[in-house]
Amino acid sequence: MTDSTSRSWAALALVLSLFFATNACSEDSAGEALLARGDYLVNGVVACGNCHSARTSDGELIEGMEFAGNFVIEDPGFRAYAPNITPAVRTGIGSWTAEEITRAIREGVRPDGQVLGPPMAFQLYRKISDNDIRAIVAYLRSVPTVENEVPRTTFRIPLPPNWGPPLGVVPDVPRDDLVAYGAYLTGPLGHCTECHTPLVKGRFDWSRIGAGGNLFQNPLGKGFRAVSSNITQHPELGLGQWSDDEIKRAIADGISRDGRQLLTFMGFSYYSSIKDEDLDAMVAYLRTIPPATAPPPAAD
């Protein structure tokens, strides 16, 4: 082998090593970015842990039991137990593939084919973008494993055979369109419009989106009843006369327009990490919800 040939092979080897090293770095960076996005969503606007974390009998979060489930939501149509969503193989989702977790979140179908039901708002979650669901799933698969047996939810209402046809590609929502991105944050991701839209026989009345009126019996075991607020632009019952800063403070800090502390049933400890630009988008969308009302919940 001549010196020139040796130099050529050495140069090729160097180029190839740099190529693979660059690709490895790119993959590492992409993976880190995916986990960072998942962390921001799960521990921020999506607030998965607000329902899926184990709590004491008086509703306080139990340290070390994050995402381990067993939070209970009572409704005339169901008694819901938030499942364990840690990577526990026996009691969580550790044996589920990424595709199975994605299908459960967005389409409401377990790996065994069972259709899931409320209070998960699958009509909203179906619109979570492919990139964001990948980030959410990647983060959930990275959280500490906790073995915690959780009962299955019991339904007193019929469930549909499915929540819609199988999903195709779900693109990202442009962040430069404040109203569209705000609708995405408050709907598919933050599911604000889930709690704040009236339930009729276990189904959401989307014709009155944001009108509130849902009754939550003994939330967090605190011994009170909570009614979801009207977040439409109704001038008296809703947010019509609130300033942008007042709305953002209510979301992120749990402080109402009159300065009182809102019930901790809302995940303010999660929402406090929502970025300012995302709060701006959420407010921009809320400003577009037409005034609506909901009948008061029954006394019993």
What is the DSSP track for 249-289? HHHHH-B-TTSPBPPTTS-HHHHTTS-HHHHHHHHHHHTTS
Q: Are residues 214 and 107 in the same domain?
A: no
What proportion of the chain, given as a percentage, has pLDDT over 90?
A: 62
- Residue at a domain's end among 120, 155, 172: 172
Q: Quick check: is 14 in a domain?
A: no
Q: Is 99 among the domain residues?
A: yes
Evaluate whether residue 7 is within a structural domain. no
Has residue 150 got a pLDDT over 70? yes
Same domain, yes or no: 36 and 164: yes
Q: Give the residue among 127, 124, 133 at the shortest CA–CA distance from 99.
A: 133
The average pLDDT across 179-183 equals: 98
At 21 the pLDDT is 58
- The CA–CA distances, whole Å, from 159 to 80, 156, 202, 222, 251 equal 14, 9, 9, 30, 32
**Residues 180, 134 share a domain:** no
Among 280, 119, 232, 124, smallest CA distance to 187 is for 124
* Contact yes or no for 201/157 (Cβ under 8 A): yes
16 within some domain = no
Of 115, 137, 172, the residue at which a domain comes to its end is 172
3 within some domain: no
Phi, psi (deg, nearest 5) at residue 255: -115, 125
State yes or no: pLDDT of 176 exceeds 60.
yes
Residues 260 and 183 in one domain: yes
> How many separate domains does the chain show?
2
- 246 and 112 share one domain: no
Higher pLDDT, 95 or 204: 95
- What are the pLDDT digits (tens) for 226-285? 888 999 999 999 999 999 999 999 999 999 999 998 877 788 889 999 999 999 999 999
Q: Which domain holds residue 118?
A: 29-172
Nearest to 270 by CA among 67, 120, 30: 67
202 shares its domain with 132: no
Domain-terminating residue out of 143, 172, 201: 172
**Alpha carbon 295 to its chain's center:** 27
Query: What crossing angle do the helices spanning 244-253 and 276-286 adopt, rounded to 10°?
Result: 120
- Per-residue pLDDT of 45-86, as tens digits, reads 999 998 899 887 777 788 899 999 988 887 778 888 999 999
Per-residue pLDDT, 216: 78
pLDDT-derived band at 10, boundaries 50, 70, 90: low
For residue 7, pLDDT over 80 is answered with no
Q: Are residues 96 and 163 in the same domain?
A: yes
Least confident of 151-155, 221-225, 287-291: 221-225
Looking at the structure, do residues 144 and 189 belong to the same domain, yes or no?
Answer: no
Position 44 in a domain: yes
The mean pLDDT of the chain is 88
Is the same domain home to 236 and 154?
no
Q: Average pLDDT, stretch 75-101?
A: 93
Same domain, 89 and 203: no
Decide if 2 is inside a domain.
no
**The model's pTM:** 0.86
- Domain membership of residue 219 (yes or no) is yes
Q: Which range is least confidently modeled, 186-190, 205-209, 211-215, 219-223? A: 219-223
CB 125 within 8 A of CB 136: no
Note whether 213 and 295 are within 8 A (CB): yes
